[in-house]
Structure 1
Amino acid sequence: MGDFLYRTKGDKVIWAIVVFLSLVSLLAVYSATGSLAYRERGGHTEYYLLKQLTVLVMGLLIIYFAHRVNYTIYSRVAQIGFIISIPLLIYTLAFGSHINDASRWIRLPIINLTFQTSDVAKLAIFMYVSRQLSKRQHVITDLKKGFLPIIIPVGIICVLIMPANMSTALLLGASCMLLCFIGRIPVKYLAAMMAMGAGLVLLMFVVAKVSGMEGRTKTWLKRIEHFTNKENSETPYQVQQANIAIAGGGFLGKGPGNSTQRNFLPHAYSDYIYATIIEEYGIFGAFLILMAYMLLLLRCIRIYRKCPYAFGAFLALGLSVTLVIQALTNMAVNVGVFPVTGVTLPMVSMGGSSVIFTSLAIGIILSVARNVEEMEGKKAEQERIARVLAEQEEEEEYEEA
């Protein structure tokens, strides 16, 4: 155990944030699923708690082993991951499991487990964009040599994710745009790409309406209509229950396990787990969760500034940005600031593949942090040796004098 802890490197604050969010996840998931487990599992109220505990332990192990790998290895697998993501997303659209008119999951045949292929694609595209930004800095302002080779793969992945999960596609596109902006791609190129993306979304709605194959677009339109015209539209049921949960939380909340809206709020353990947390831990608890993600972003910005190599810097910042944007979006939806989406709260919401791939992303960030830490340690050691040698020379000169 001591050797295990000794070999655990990287940013200690990020490690602490991961542990904190994992503990919050266990408490919130247990509270939100107690009644559900009792009904569905014959009185076994701890079923989902044990399941989430297993997933989180797997996630922590993934973080540990991923952070032990030199982050330059991820540059080599970035292109492979991007290439694999395309057929996976196409297969998911054609043959994936359909839930609420959305095909987001595929089932692994032997072990009979499902996972969202968009999680694989998100991780792969951020590694790919980070690699391309680092390699093309000398031509980054050139449209053909710098911008298009980076943005076209992003567009392909977003287009393939969009039919089943528009919110994920939009967040992924926005995160990649932000990373490209930090990577010195001209604003005029990014603005043109955003305009094209908006046009593509509008075209998709028009085609769906004309062809009669509305599918998920009907759900999206209802959500947008409610959000933009709340006075003249019926409030969605989940929004009503989330508002009741938040109103009942107050400043310090009702206490752990005392939520009442968990029995009425749909997906109180995943999409709306933040509302459950507010009800039980109040505004104070909600603020702690928000600060944890903000601190994660600040620590990753610190890694970005200290990393001497462009790939590691872009990788750490890009992965942290997408995690924090996802977290902020989930919180905004829960408190009614954004329209309803299917975005979960990273490392807190109950889930399988989402926790696994989030853990892998955090492990990669910690891998960059570990290498930065080691380089700083070597530099400090060299400075200490130089200082000792200088002191010895001064002593020798003094003795000779």
Structure 2
Amino acid sequence: LILPNNFSTSALVFLNGLALMYVAKIRIKYILSIILSAFLFFLSIYSITKYTDFGSKIIPRSVTWVSRIDGFLLEKENDDMTKDYQQVQSLVAIQNGGIRGVGPGKSIQRSILPYSSSDFIFSIIIEEYGLIGGVGVILAYLILFFRATLISFKVESFFGNLVTIGLIFSLVFQALINMLVTVEILPITGQTLPLISMGGTSIVFTCISIGIVLSISRDSTDRDYEKA
């Protein structure tokens, strides 16, 4: 249902599913077979769309996927002037930031870089607060991931464990993908930075996810008190 309209979100859900299967102790050979099947499916869609017109009839958005992937791969072979405008400006913002940054609210690239308040907010953070600010954001997500992992270990319910891991993995994976796009390691995906990027729906669902994790943690703590 998600794949025909949004490849990056479907890939995020797929990675999250793999993580849950690993946590649920599904045999590695089954997980690897799913990965191989997904890779072959994607490769077939890519080839059909690139060399024929049939792929676009099956999945209309596949043309966009192929163009982004080809553009990203070709950029690695060409000079900097032919790169994607957004990622070039993102790298400029990161370079301007240096170690300490230019200062809060003094970003130059904020008015030049498209989607600077959503998809590329991490670049603006580094420009204004420098490498120190960027590392601080990364550490904040790592702390959130670490705390949620500890909660999952304390939960007695297997379902609660999977829910906690699934929600936090989804959040951290999305943050990681967003950061990798800003430094041009991945092609543009359209994924926002959770809790930081501007956007109503994204923030609401992220807060709901964190609220569910906190609810599971409270339930686990209450049971510990009852046992004591």
- Does the alignment reach a TM-score above 0.5? yes
Question: Relative contact order: is structure 1 or structure 2 higher (C-alpha 8 Å, sep ≥ 6)?
Answer: 1
Match among 222, 235, 243 for residue 67 of structure 2: 222
Give the alignment of 1:109-188 within 5 angstroms: 160-188=1-29
Match among 263, 266, 270 for residue 114 of structure 2: 266
Match among 193, 202, 208 for residue 360 of structure 1: 208
Distance in 1 (alpha carbons) for counterparts of 2:61 and 2:92: 27
Q: Which residue of 2 aligns with 1:296?
A: 144
What TM-score does the superposition give when structure 1 sets the normalisation length? 0.53
Following superposition, which runs of at least 4 residues in structure 1 exceed 4 angstroms of deviation?
A: none
Q: Which runs of 5+ in 1 are unaligned?
A: 1-159, 383-401
Q: Alpha carbons of 1:207 and 1:228: their partners in 2 closer, same or farther (altered >3 Å)?
A: closer
> What is the total number of aligned residue pairs between the two structures?
221
Distance in 1 (alpha carbons) for counterparts of 2:26 and 2:166: 15
What SS is found at the alignment partner of 2:83? coil
Distance in 2 (alpha carbons) for counterparts of 1:351 and 1:207: 35
Distance in 2 (alpha carbons) for counterparts of 1:309 and 1:216: 40
One-letter code aligned to 1:349 = S
Distance in 1 (alpha carbons) for counterparts of 2:100 and 2:222: 42
Deviations 1:107-144 (A, max 9, x none): xxxxxxxxxxxxxxxxxxxxxxxxxxxxxxxxxxxxxx
Distance in 2 (alpha carbons) for counterparts of 1:254 and 1:354: 28
Q: Which residue of 2 aligns with 1:191?
A: 32
Give the alignment of 1:2-401 within 5 angstroms: 160-209=1-50, 210-211=52-53, 213=56, 215-229=60-74, 230-232=76-78, 234-379=82-227, 382=228
Distance in 2 (alpha carbons) for counterparts of 1:363 and 1:220: 34
Deviations 1:297-356 (A, max 9, x none): 101110111111111111111110110011011011111221211110011111111111
Distance in 1 (alpha carbons) for counterparts of 2:132 and 2:224: 37
Distance in 1 (alpha carbons) for counterparts of 2:110 and 2:183: 16
- CA drift of 1:241 comes to 0.4
Deviations 1:65-94 (A, max 9, x none): xxxxxxxxxxxxxxxxxxxxxxxxxxxxxx
Q: Which runs of 5+ in 2 are unaligned?
A: none
State the structure with more CA Rg: 1
- CA drift of 1:377 comes to 2.3
Distance in 2 (alpha carbons) for counterparts of 1:338 and 1:208: 21
Deviations 1:190-228 (A, max 9, x none): 111111111222232234342263853333223323433
Distance in 2 (alpha carbons) for counterparts of 1:207 and 1:162: 16
Give the share of equivalent positions with the same residue, in percent.
Answer: 39
What TM-score does the superposition give when structure 2 sets the normalisation length? 0.91
Distance in 1 (alpha carbons) for counterparts of 2:31 and 2:93: 40
One-letter code aligned to 1:368 = I
One-letter code aligned to 1:162 = L
Deviations 1:255-284 (A, max 9, x none): 111011111101001100100111111111
C-alpha RMSD of matched pairs (Å): 1.6
One-letter code aligned to 1:211 = D
Distance in 2 (alpha carbons) for counterparts of 1:216 and 1:278: 32
What SS is found at the alignment partner of 2:77? helix
One-letter code aligned to 2:78 = N
Distance in 2 (alpha carbons) for counterparts of 1:254 and 1:373: 44
- CA drift of 1:178 comes to 1.0
Q: Contact conserved, 2:117 with 2:197, CA < 8 A, in 1? A: yes
